[in-house]
Structures are given as structure tokens and as C-alpha cells.
Amino acid sequence: MPRVPLNMPKMSMTMEFGTIVEWLVGPGDKIANGDAVVVVTTDKVDMEVEATFDGVVEEIVAGEGAQLPVGEPMAYLQTETEDLLGDLFAAPPEVEAKPEPVPAEPESRGVEPATPASDVSPHVTSVEPIRAVPLARRIAAEAGIDLRTVTGTGPSRTIRARDVREAITRRDRAAKAAAAPARVAPAAVATPTAVPAAPVPAQTGELLGDDKIRRMRVATANVMNASAVIPQFTVFRVLDLARLARARETSLKGVSWTSILVRAYALVLREMPQLNGYWVGTGVQGNEHVGISLAVDTPQGLLAPVIADPDRITLRQLDRAVRDLAETIKGGQIDPNLFAGGTGTVSNLGGMGVDRFNALLTPPQATALSLGRVGRRPAVDADGELTVQIACEAGLTVDHRAADGADAARALDLMQTFLQDPVLLLA
């Protein structure tokens, strides 16, 4: 059979490298067209790579944790398929179901049937098949793990190899704890003044979080390490939102503050090209588009999908896009292309009660906007009278190579201009 490579795929327009997270198959395993064979991560997103033909895994040349450029071989497969593009019009092959063995119902012979040795009821007529990738089945069989005791974390609760490995680790720890002899002080030396020994941790040096969370922290650390070498500063300003607060009771009812402030920020970047550009060593390279990376808190960590040109759609369309994007990011698998094209970042912690903070830059972006809590606060008007103001505090972090403090001040002043006139914001 021909020997063909399984290469690192290009899963987004900006992808140059991918990291192998987990192999779902092993050498010798048979695969079918469409089977998920390996999980690859890029841009903090895990994606399953599927086989494009039937065959057998011959050799895995890049193990879990390896980082490869796009197009480099991850494994080699053997296949009898001549047309490696596959028959696009053929019906999908039928999958032979392999349910767990079920005892047959005893025949009626006028006597009471013997109690079955198995704990499976003799009246059970079907058993739901266990979903598990081939490598998980192999590891479980070698370690003596019953797959029915393993919780799958893959699609449709499919059991992956890492699920079985975690089950083996839990079993071994439990066996080790059960085998440890109990420490009982001899009665002859026990005294009322004896101090009990401090509990010894079961294991030291463990990293917090599961594999995916740790990968997310590493990806974030890599970005922040690059951010740390950029000379950056933050300017703060209280933004008056009184007129928009009234508009949100009428024409803008239902539109979130996040969407309104994202819109104003995008308008500022469109008007100030040096803040919407990238520092390239000899100057600022401009961008024809505006892309707002919206920081979203997820169970796995911080993700920042991009909203393209939010100043060129209606405010209600933008509000729906913001809500839909947040829901998409917090669930399931994500398209890596959602993270491409950012020219500025918005981070909003106002919903968590935070009034003021400074956001760090995400290279190569030249600015990042932090938004605090929107609420009422005391203020002094032009006549010196004490009033109540609806406002929030914004912080604009700027790459000092691309702009100066006065540029940042002008940017926030322009943002306030847009926020004071709903007509400008809606234009």
C-alpha cells in the first residue's frame, strides 16, 4: 500500500505553526475517511484533524506537545485509496455496530432459571455502545480499565486517550493510598501532650488546572511576554454617558453599553490611523480595516475574538454580533479565523464591579481600551453645582513607539465627543 504523510493542516489564514495536543489513534489502527485522528491547537483553540481517506496508521513522527510548521508531516499512513481526494459523491460507509455482549433470556422449562453470574439483567435487550477512539480502547485494555467507568470529554462524550490516562492515574493514586499503612502510635509512648504530625500532601509539584487550561495559560504567557518588551503607557478619563443613558431608554433600548463603547472606540481608530496601525521597526504601518478584539472570559481562560469594522454596521447589528460572538466563544469548538485581524482590544470588567484598570497591549496592536463600571457618580457642572453623573472610567493603553501621550489624550477626547452626540455614534 502507498505510504502517505498526514501533514499539519492550515486551519486559519494566520496559522503558521500548530501544536499536537493528543493523538486519537496509534500505530496499527485502522482509520476511515472522516475519522478524527489527532487534536491540534492554534491561537488557543483545539481543533480535531480528520482523515481524508481509509487506511492504517503506519508511524507517528511527532508526539503530543510537538510544535510543527504548517505542511510538516505529523504521521505516515498506508492506504489503498488511489484517488486521495476521495469520492465526494459516494454514500457514507455503514458503520458496523459492536454492542457489548448481552446474556440471552432463558427458555421457559417449568423450572426457575439459575441466577446469572453477570450483574447484567437477563431481560436487557440492548446496550448503548461505548464511544471511544481506538487508542483509548487500546490503553484501557492494556491497563485493565473498564471503559464504562470513564467519562468521555470528546464530541458526543467520546472517550479519548487522555480520559483513559486520567482514569489510570486516579486508580493508581487510590491504590497507593489504600496500600499505605496506617500510622498508629504505640500505646506505651502515647502521652496527653503528644502533638499529631502535620498531614503530608499526597503529591507535591503538581500544576493547577487540566491540560487545556494549562495550554491556555502558556498561550497567554507567550503573548504577554511579547507585550512586556513594548514601551507602553495608559491614560485615564471619566466618560460622560448621560445623553446615551437617555437614548438607551428610547431609541437604543436593549443595546448594551459594551456595544456602544466598542462602536465609539472603532470610530476613534478610524479617525486616528496611527493608533489603528502596527509598529514595524521603521514606522507605523496603517490598516485599511478596523478590527476590535473583544476580551471574553471563558471557563478555559481569556479569549479575544475579533469584530470586523464595527463602525460600518448599524449599532443594533453590532450589538447582536457582540452577543452572538460571546455565546460562540463560550461553547464548543471555535473557528481560529475568529481571532484574526485585530487592530485594537477592548477589555470590559465593569460587569464585575471594577471601576478602573489598565489593559496591556496585544502585539502588534498599538492600543487597548479598558472599561470600568457604568454607574452614577458625583460631579461638578460648569456652574460649580454638585450633580449626579452617569459615567464610566476608560483607560487607553498605547504603544509609545506609535504615538505619544497627547495622541492618547486626543483619542479619549474624540471618544467623548462621539458619546455625547448619539447622532454621530449612529451615523
Give DSSP secondary structure letters for 51-84: PSS-EEEEEE-S-TT-EEETT-EEEEEE---S-T
| CB 268, CB 415: distance < 8 Å | yes
Banded pLDDT at 102 (limits 50, 70, 90): very low
| CB 68, CB 8: distance < 8 Å | yes
Q: What is the pLDDT of residue 262?
A: 97
Region of 291 (left: φ > 0; alpha: ψ -120 to 50; beta: rest) is: beta
Longest Cα separation, the chain: 103
Mean pLDDT of 5-34: 84
Q: Under DSSP, is residue 322 helix (H, G, I), strand (E, B) or coil?
A: helix
Q: What is the pLDDT of residue 51?
A: 83
Mean pLDDT of 14-24: 84
Of 28-32, 118-122, 336-340, least confident by mean pLDDT is 118-122
230-426 in CATH: which number? Answer: 3.30.559.10
Mean pLDDT of 322-326: 90
Banded pLDDT at 424 (limits 50, 70, 90): confident
Buried b (16+ CB within 10 A) or exposed e, 72-98: eebbbbebebeeeeeeeeeeeeeeeee
User: Is pLDDT of 367 > 50?
Assistant: yes
> Which segments of 291-381 does DSSP mark as H helices, in order?
315-329
User: Is pLDDT of 331 > 90?
Assistant: no
pLDDT digits (tens, 9 = 90+) for 231-288: 999 999 999 999 999 999 988 899 999 999 999 999 999 999 999 999 998 999 999 9
> Which segments of 78-205 does DSSP mark as H helices, in order?
134-143, 161-179
User: Is pLDDT of 163 > 70?
Assistant: yes
Q: What is the pLDDT of residue 332?
A: 58
Q: What is the pLDDT of residue 44?
A: 65
User: Is pLDDT of 101 > 70?
Assistant: no
Q: What is the pLDDT of residue 299?
A: 76
Residue span(s) of the chain under CATH 3.30.559.10 come to: 230-426
- 192 phi/psi in degrees, rounded to 5: -60, -20
Banded pLDDT at 155 (limits 50, 70, 90): low
CATH for 3-78 (1.10.20.140, 2.40.50.100, 3.40.50.970, 3.40.50.11540):
2.40.50.100
Banded pLDDT at 180 (limits 50, 70, 90): low
Instruction: Identify the H or E element spanning 36.
Output: strand 36-42
Q: What is the pLDDT of residue 159?
A: 85
Give the integer Cα–Cα distance in Å for 119 and 100: 13
pLDDT digits (tens, 9 = 90+) for 68-81: 888 899 999 988 76
The residue among 396 and 9 whose pLDDT is bigger is 396
User: Is pLDDT of 352 > 90?
Assistant: yes
Rounded to 10°, the helix 257-271/315-329 angle is: 110
3-state helix, strand and coil shares in percent for the chain, rounded to the nearest 5: 30, 25, 50
User: Is pLDDT of 186 > 60?
Assistant: no
Give the integer Cα–Cα distance in Å for 395 and 61: 48
DSSP 348: E
Residue span(s) of the chain under CATH 4.10.320 come to: 134-175
Banded pLDDT at 354 (limits 50, 70, 90): very high
CATH topology for 134-175 is Dihydrolipoamide Transferase (4.10.320)
Banded pLDDT at 204 (limits 50, 70, 90): low
Instruction: Identify the H or E element spanning 5.
Output: strand 3-7
Banded pLDDT at 119 (limits 50, 70, 90): very low
Q: Under DSSP, is residue 369 helix (H, G, I), strand (E, B) or coil?
A: strand
Which residues share a beta bridge with 308?
291
Could you report how far apart the first and last alpha carbons of the chain are, in Å?
64
User: Is pLDDT of 14 > 90?
Assistant: no
Q: What is the pLDDT of residue 191?
A: 40
Residues in CB range of 379: below 8 A, 6 or more apart: 240, 386, 387, 388, 389, 391
pLDDT digits (tens, 9 = 90+) for 296-315: 888 777 888 999 999 999 99
Give the integer Cα–Cα distance in Å for 362 and 368: 8
Q: What is the pLDDT of residue 45?
A: 74
| CB 49, CB 37: distance < 8 Å | yes
Mean pLDDT of 201-224: 71
Distinct helix (H) and strand (E) counts, the chain: 8, 19
| pLDDT, the chain, mean | 80
Q: What is the pLDDT of residue 182?
A: 53
DSSP 362: -
Nearest to 402 by CA among 227, 284, 228, 273: 284
Around 264, how many Cα atoms within 13 Å sit in the side-chain half-sphere?
26
Residue span(s) of the chain under CATH 2.40.50.100 come to: 3-78
